[in-house]
Amino acid sequence: MNAKFHLALPCINIKETKMFYTQVLGMTLGRHTEKWVDVNLYGNQITFTKTGPFNFSFKEYRLGDHILPSFHFGVIVNAENWGKLYTKLFQDDRLEVTTEVAFMQNKVGEHLSFFVKDPNGYMIEFKSFKSDDEVFAS
C-alpha cells in the first residue's frame, strides 16, 4: 500500500506559519482559514491549528555525539534535492539551520540530515539516505 501521512500540530501564528512553509520552504497550501492551515509537504498533509503557546517536555536526546530534538518531523528526499534545500536554507539569515550531519556512517541506514526551525518552534528534519532500500532496513 502506498499512503500519505497526515500530521496535526498546534500553532502559535497562522500567518507566520503560512509564510514560512510557502515562501521559505516553497511548499503549497491546501484548505485554510484564519484558525488553521493545511500544508502540502511533499504530498503529505500537515495541519496547523492556532492554539497559542505550548510546551513539550524532554526537548532533546543524544544519538552518539549529537544532541537531537526529541519532537521533530521531516521528509526523506533524494541527494540532489537534499543538497539544493540545504544550500538554500543555510544561506537564509532568518533561519536556524543545523549543519549537515551524517548518521550511521558505513552502516545500514546511513543518511545525511539537517534540521530547520519553523515559526512555531518545530524542528523539521530533511534526510537523504545513501541507499533508498535502507530507509526501513534493520
CATH number at residue 91: 3.10.180.10
- Res 1 pLDDT > 60: no
Kindly state whether residues 64 and 39 are assigned to the same domain: no
pLDDT, tens digit, for every residue of 69-117? 767 888 999 999 999 999 999 888 888 888 788 888 898 888 999 999 8
Strands 60-63 and 66-69 turn out to be: antiparallel
| pLDDT over 70 percentage in the chain | 93
The sign of the torsion formed by the CA atoms of 60, 41, 88, 55 equals negative
CA nearest to 37, candidates 15, 63, 60:
15
The predicted pLDDT at position 61 comes to 67
Kindly state whether residues 44 and 19 are assigned to the same domain: yes
Kindly state whether residues 125 and 70 are assigned to the same domain: yes
- Per DSSP, the three-state class of 134 is helix
pTM, full prediction: 0.79
The C-alpha cell that represents 84 in the structure block: 539544493
Domain boundaries, position 26: 1-53
- Res 60 pLDDT > 90: no
The predicted pLDDT at position 64 comes to 72
- Res 55 pLDDT > 80: no
Kindly state whether residues 63 and 47 are assigned to the same domain: no
Kindly state whether residues 22 and 83 are assigned to the same domain: no
What integer is the mean pLDDT of 4-16? 89
Kindly state whether residues 70 and 34 are assigned to the same domain: no
Query: In 14-98, where do the E strands start and end?
Result: 28-32, 36-41, 44-50, 60-63, 66-69, 72-76
**Average pLDDT over the chain, rounded to an integer:** 86
